[in-house]
Amino acid sequence: MVTVITGKGVVAENSFPTLPDAAYQLDSSYITGSGDLLGWSTCRSEQTEQAQEFCLKQADVVGWSVDYLPISQMSGMQWLGASILLALTVAMTVFLFGWRRKRLV
């Protein structure tokens, strides 16, 4: 997992970080001046855009924090998942054949 952080604010044009091609975004949140993370739904209850901007300024939000998986890590995760499923399939098959043999005898 890779985290990219911006400090350009959150309401300016092009303030959201650009991710590499084929990257899978896991999470996005606001980052405050002290480094704390706030959920992206912070200040969404405000009715107007000016009220949202004021709320974000009061919360000391200075930018975005985005977690993503680069494409280089995808194949390793897929092989890991496939090997776990294969191991579970083999274990279940062995169990079922053993259980069936005990019932026949």
| Chain segment 48-85, per-residue pLDDT in tens | 888 888 888 888 888 888 999 888 888 888 899 999 99
9-31: per-residue pLDDT in tens? 777 777 788 888 888 888 888 88
Domain check: are 15 and 62 in the same one? yes
Tokens of 58: 């009061």
> What is the count of structural domains for the chain?
2
Structural domain range at position 52 = 1-69
Same domain, 49 and 80: no
Backbone angles phi, psi at 11, to 5 degrees: -105, -10
DSSP 48-76: SHHHHHHHHHHTTEEEEEEEEE-HHHHHH
Q: Are residues 23 and 59 in the same domain?
A: yes
Specify whether 19 is located in the same domain as 42: yes
pLDDT at 80: 94
Counting every residue, how long is the chain? 105
Residue 50's pLDDT is 84
**Which pLDDT does position 21 carry in this prediction?**
85
